[in-house]
Structure 1
Amino acid sequence: MEILKLHLKPELLTEHKTNRLYQQWQALLDSLEEKKISIKTTEIINQEIEAINSTSLRDKSLQNLLKVKQTFILGLLEKDEKLVPKNHYRNRWLAVGLAAFGISAGYDLRALAQCH
Protein backbone atom coordinates (compact mmCIF):
# COMPACT_ATOMS: atom_id res chain seq x y z
CA MET A 1 0.00 0.00 0.00
CA GLU A 2 1.28 3.44 -0.90
CA ILE A 3 1.50 6.39 1.48
CA LEU A 4 -0.49 9.43 0.38
CA LYS A 5 1.12 12.80 -0.33
CA LEU A 6 0.55 15.91 1.70
CA HIS A 7 -1.14 18.63 -0.37
CA LEU A 8 -1.80 21.93 1.37
CA LYS A 9 -2.94 25.01 -0.49
CA PRO A 10 -0.13 27.58 -0.98
CA GLU A 11 -2.18 30.30 0.74
CA LEU A 12 -2.09 28.23 3.95
CA LEU A 13 1.72 28.18 3.92
CA THR A 14 2.35 31.90 4.28
CA GLU A 15 4.05 31.78 7.69
CA HIS A 16 7.67 30.64 7.97
CA LYS A 17 7.01 28.13 10.77
CA THR A 18 4.10 26.56 8.92
CA ASN A 19 6.18 26.24 5.78
CA ARG A 20 9.05 24.67 7.75
CA LEU A 21 6.69 22.11 9.33
CA TYR A 22 5.29 21.33 5.88
CA GLN A 23 8.83 20.71 4.59
CA GLN A 24 9.52 18.41 7.55
CA TRP A 25 6.39 16.46 6.70
CA GLN A 26 7.48 16.15 3.07
CA ALA A 27 10.90 14.86 4.16
CA LEU A 28 9.28 12.36 6.54
CA LEU A 29 6.93 11.04 3.86
CA ASP A 30 9.77 10.81 1.33
CA SER A 31 11.88 8.78 3.74
CA LEU A 32 8.94 6.49 4.55
CA GLU A 33 8.58 5.58 0.87
CA GLU A 34 11.93 3.78 1.09
CA LYS A 35 10.98 1.79 4.21
CA LYS A 36 8.91 -1.35 4.47
CA ILE A 37 5.96 -0.47 6.66
CA SER A 38 3.06 -2.68 7.64
CA ILE A 39 -0.30 -2.16 5.96
CA LYS A 40 -1.93 -1.25 9.29
CA THR A 41 0.62 1.52 9.94
CA THR A 42 0.29 2.78 6.37
CA GLU A 43 -3.49 3.00 6.74
CA ILE A 44 -3.16 5.02 9.95
CA ILE A 45 -0.64 7.37 8.35
CA ASN A 46 -2.92 7.83 5.34
CA GLN A 47 -5.84 8.70 7.62
CA GLU A 48 -3.76 11.37 9.33
CA ILE A 49 -2.62 12.79 5.97
CA GLU A 50 -6.22 12.90 4.72
CA ALA A 51 -7.19 14.84 7.87
CA ILE A 52 -4.42 17.36 7.20
CA ASN A 53 -5.21 17.66 3.49
CA SER A 54 -8.88 18.36 4.20
CA THR A 55 -8.27 21.06 6.83
CA SER A 56 -9.06 24.72 6.37
CA LEU A 57 -7.10 25.81 9.45
CA ARG A 58 -4.64 28.69 9.18
CA ASP A 59 -1.64 30.11 11.01
CA LYS A 60 -1.15 28.85 14.59
CA SER A 61 -4.01 26.37 14.39
CA LEU A 62 -2.49 24.77 11.29
CA GLN A 63 0.95 24.72 12.93
CA ASN A 64 -0.48 22.98 15.98
CA LEU A 65 -2.28 20.43 13.81
CA LEU A 66 0.90 19.66 11.87
CA LYS A 67 2.94 19.29 15.08
CA VAL A 68 0.38 17.06 16.79
CA LYS A 69 -0.01 14.78 13.76
CA GLN A 70 3.76 14.62 13.23
CA THR A 71 4.36 13.68 16.87
CA PHE A 72 1.65 11.02 16.64
CA ILE A 73 3.14 9.53 13.45
CA LEU A 74 6.68 9.50 14.87
CA GLY A 75 5.43 7.79 18.03
CA LEU A 76 3.53 5.25 15.96
CA LEU A 77 6.60 4.50 13.84
CA GLU A 78 8.76 4.13 16.94
CA LYS A 79 6.33 1.83 18.71
CA ASP A 80 5.06 -0.34 15.84
CA GLU A 81 7.81 -0.28 13.25
CA LYS A 82 10.87 0.39 15.46
CA LEU A 83 11.82 3.36 13.23
CA VAL A 84 13.25 6.47 14.89
CA PRO A 85 14.89 9.67 13.59
CA LYS A 86 18.66 9.97 13.53
CA ASN A 87 20.13 10.72 17.01
CA HIS A 88 16.76 9.99 18.65
CA TYR A 89 18.13 8.02 21.58
CA ARG A 90 21.11 10.34 22.07
CA ASN A 91 18.80 13.33 22.35
CA ARG A 92 16.39 11.52 24.65
CA TRP A 93 19.08 10.34 27.07
CA LEU A 94 20.86 13.69 26.95
CA ALA A 95 17.72 15.35 28.27
CA VAL A 96 17.28 12.68 30.95
CA GLY A 97 20.92 12.99 31.98
CA LEU A 98 20.74 16.73 32.28
CA ALA A 99 17.53 16.57 34.27
CA ALA A 100 18.68 13.81 36.61
CA PHE A 101 22.36 14.60 37.13
CA GLY A 102 23.07 18.10 35.88
CA ILE A 103 20.51 19.94 37.96
CA SER A 104 21.24 18.02 41.14
CA ALA A 105 25.01 18.44 40.71
CA GLY A 106 24.56 22.17 40.19
CA TYR A 107 22.38 22.38 43.28
CA ASP A 108 24.95 20.46 45.36
CA LEU A 109 27.76 22.80 44.30
CA ARG A 110 25.67 25.85 45.20
CA ALA A 111 24.87 24.34 48.60
CA LEU A 112 28.59 23.69 49.22
CA ALA A 113 29.45 27.27 48.28
CA GLN A 114 26.92 28.62 50.80
CA CYS A 115 28.38 26.50 53.62
CA HIS A 116 31.82 28.14 53.41
Structure 2
Amino acid sequence: MHELAIAQGILDIALNTAASHAASKVIGVKVLAGELTGIVPEALEFGFTALAEGSPAAGACLTIQIVPLVVFCRNCGEQNRVDKYQFICKSCGSYAVDIVTGRELTVESVEVE
Protein backbone atom coordinates (compact mmCIF):
# COMPACT_ATOMS: atom_id res chain seq x y z
CA MET A 1 0.00 0.00 0.00
CA HIS A 2 2.03 2.95 -1.25
CA GLU A 3 -0.74 5.32 -0.16
CA LEU A 4 0.55 5.29 3.43
CA ALA A 5 3.98 6.59 2.37
CA ILE A 6 2.30 9.22 0.19
CA ALA A 7 0.00 10.19 3.07
CA GLN A 8 3.07 10.69 5.28
CA GLY A 9 4.62 12.99 2.69
CA ILE A 10 1.39 15.00 2.39
CA LEU A 11 1.16 15.27 6.17
CA ASP A 12 4.78 16.45 6.38
CA ILE A 13 4.10 19.15 3.79
CA ALA A 14 0.94 20.26 5.61
CA LEU A 15 2.65 20.43 9.00
CA ASN A 16 5.67 22.28 7.59
CA THR A 17 3.34 24.77 5.89
CA ALA A 18 1.49 25.34 9.16
CA ALA A 19 4.75 25.83 11.06
CA SER A 20 6.15 28.24 8.47
CA HIS A 21 3.00 30.39 8.81
CA ALA A 22 2.91 30.17 12.62
CA ALA A 23 -0.47 28.43 12.35
CA SER A 24 -1.73 26.14 15.06
CA LYS A 25 -4.02 23.94 12.99
CA VAL A 26 -4.29 22.45 9.50
CA ILE A 27 -7.88 22.72 8.28
CA GLY A 28 -7.61 21.16 4.85
CA VAL A 29 -5.24 19.87 2.18
CA LYS A 30 -5.95 19.64 -1.54
CA VAL A 31 -3.99 17.09 -3.57
CA LEU A 32 -3.81 16.58 -7.34
CA ALA A 33 -3.21 12.93 -8.25
CA GLY A 34 -2.81 11.78 -11.84
CA GLU A 35 -4.44 8.57 -13.02
CA LEU A 36 -1.03 6.99 -13.63
CA THR A 37 -0.11 7.24 -9.94
CA GLY A 38 -2.52 4.40 -9.23
CA ILE A 39 -3.65 6.04 -6.01
CA VAL A 40 -6.76 4.67 -4.34
CA PRO A 41 -8.34 7.83 -2.86
CA GLU A 42 -10.03 6.01 0.02
CA ALA A 43 -6.74 4.39 1.06
CA LEU A 44 -4.93 7.73 0.91
CA GLU A 45 -7.63 9.42 2.99
CA PHE A 46 -7.52 6.60 5.55
CA GLY A 47 -3.73 6.79 5.82
CA PHE A 48 -3.73 10.57 6.12
CA THR A 49 -6.41 10.51 8.83
CA ALA A 50 -4.57 7.84 10.81
CA LEU A 51 -1.19 9.55 10.57
CA ALA A 52 -2.59 13.01 11.39
CA GLU A 53 -4.18 11.84 14.64
CA GLY A 54 -2.66 13.72 17.58
CA SER A 55 -1.02 16.34 15.36
CA PRO A 56 -2.10 19.87 14.34
CA ALA A 57 -3.57 18.23 11.22
CA ALA A 58 -5.96 15.99 13.17
CA GLY A 59 -9.42 16.32 11.63
CA ALA A 60 -8.12 18.09 8.52
CA CYS A 61 -10.09 17.52 5.35
CA LEU A 62 -8.06 15.84 2.61
CA THR A 63 -9.45 16.59 -0.85
CA ILE A 64 -8.09 14.48 -3.70
CA GLN A 65 -8.66 15.55 -7.28
CA ILE A 66 -7.88 12.83 -9.83
CA VAL A 67 -6.26 14.29 -12.96
CA PRO A 68 -7.17 12.41 -16.15
CA LEU A 69 -4.56 10.82 -18.38
CA VAL A 70 -4.28 13.02 -21.50
CA VAL A 71 -1.86 12.61 -24.40
CA PHE A 72 -0.67 14.85 -27.23
CA CYS A 73 -0.30 13.26 -30.66
CA ARG A 74 2.94 14.19 -32.45
CA ASN A 75 1.38 13.21 -35.80
CA CYS A 76 -1.89 15.15 -35.89
CA GLY A 77 -1.43 17.59 -33.00
CA GLU A 78 -4.59 16.58 -31.16
CA GLN A 79 -4.92 16.07 -27.41
CA ASN A 80 -7.07 13.19 -26.21
CA ARG A 81 -7.93 11.48 -22.97
CA VAL A 82 -6.52 7.95 -22.76
CA ASP A 83 -8.90 5.15 -21.84
CA LYS A 84 -7.68 2.02 -20.07
CA TYR A 85 -4.03 2.94 -20.63
CA GLN A 86 -4.29 2.57 -24.42
CA PHE A 87 -1.70 5.08 -25.54
CA ILE A 88 -3.20 5.64 -28.97
CA CYS A 89 -4.39 8.90 -30.53
CA LYS A 90 -8.18 8.74 -30.79
CA SER A 91 -8.09 11.14 -33.72
CA CYS A 92 -5.62 9.44 -36.09
CA GLY A 93 -4.72 6.10 -34.46
CA SER A 94 -1.03 6.96 -34.04
CA TYR A 95 1.09 5.59 -31.21
CA ALA A 96 3.34 8.68 -31.38
CA VAL A 97 1.89 10.30 -28.26
CA ASP A 98 3.34 12.19 -25.32
CA ILE A 99 1.72 12.35 -21.88
CA VAL A 100 0.35 15.81 -21.10
CA THR A 101 -1.40 15.12 -17.78
CA GLY A 102 -1.94 12.13 -15.55
CA ARG A 103 1.39 11.76 -13.74
CA GLU A 104 0.82 14.52 -11.18
CA LEU A 105 1.17 14.04 -7.47
CA THR A 106 1.08 17.50 -5.98
CA VAL A 107 -0.10 19.19 -2.83
CA GLU A 108 -1.96 22.07 -4.44
CA SER A 109 -2.98 23.90 -1.28
CA VAL A 110 -2.91 23.73 2.50
CA GLU A 111 -5.49 25.63 4.54
CA VAL A 112 -4.34 26.59 8.05
CA GLU A 113 -5.50 28.70 10.95
Q: TM-score, normalised by structure 1?
A: 0.29
Higher relative contact order (CA 8 A, sep 6+): 2
Q: Which has the higher helix share?
A: 1
Q: Which has the higher strand share?
A: 2
Q: TM-score, normalised by structure 2?
A: 0.30
